[in-house]
Homo-oligomer: A and B are copies of this chain.
Amino acid sequence: MDLDAIQQRLREFATERDWDQYHSPKNLAMALAVEAAELMEIFQWVGAEESRKAIEHPDKVVQVGDEIADICIYAIRLCDIMGVDLDTAIYRKIDQNIEKYPPDAGRHWSF
């Protein structure tokens, strides 16, 4: 994925519409959270196992892809505005997670 190219297109998109004024970190974080809820809504009332069947329905795959794209567009735009290198941030976080949750700790979730 060419992040520089995507950031460039998103920058042009905002400038051409005079929308840089709306793209503060606060507003972008809010917009991202709204899109995250729209993604979640797709799976709201089905069980976790049932949600795995979504992959068998091409229209659901497109719908999920659309919502994830919305989320990632705001994430990539926010990285541009905040000077965050997303690639570095992702690998740093993966390394932190490996340290935080050692494979042999066998952490499982229940009540």
Partner-B contacts on A (CB < 8 A): 1-3, 6, 9-10, 13, 16-18, 22, 24-27, 29-34, 36-57, 60-61, 64-66, 68-73, 75-76, 78-79, 81-90, 92-94, 97-98, 101, 103, 105-111
**A64 to B46, Cβ gap below 8 A?**
no
Q: How far is the CA of A82 from the CA of B71 in the complex (A)?
A: 16
Residues of B contacting A103 in the complex (Cβ-Cβ under 8 angstroms): 16-17
Query: DSSP majority for the A interface?
Result: helix
Copies of this chain, how many? 4
Q: A64-B84, A72-B90, A93-B69 are in contact. Are A51 and B26 (CB under 8 A)?
A: yes
Q: How far is the CB of A16 from chain B (nearest CB, A)?
A: 4
Cβ–Cβ contact A25 & B54, under 8 A: yes
Nearest-neighbour CB distance to chain B for A66, whole angstroms, equals 6
Q: How far is the CA of A48 from the CA of B22 in the complex (A)?
A: 8
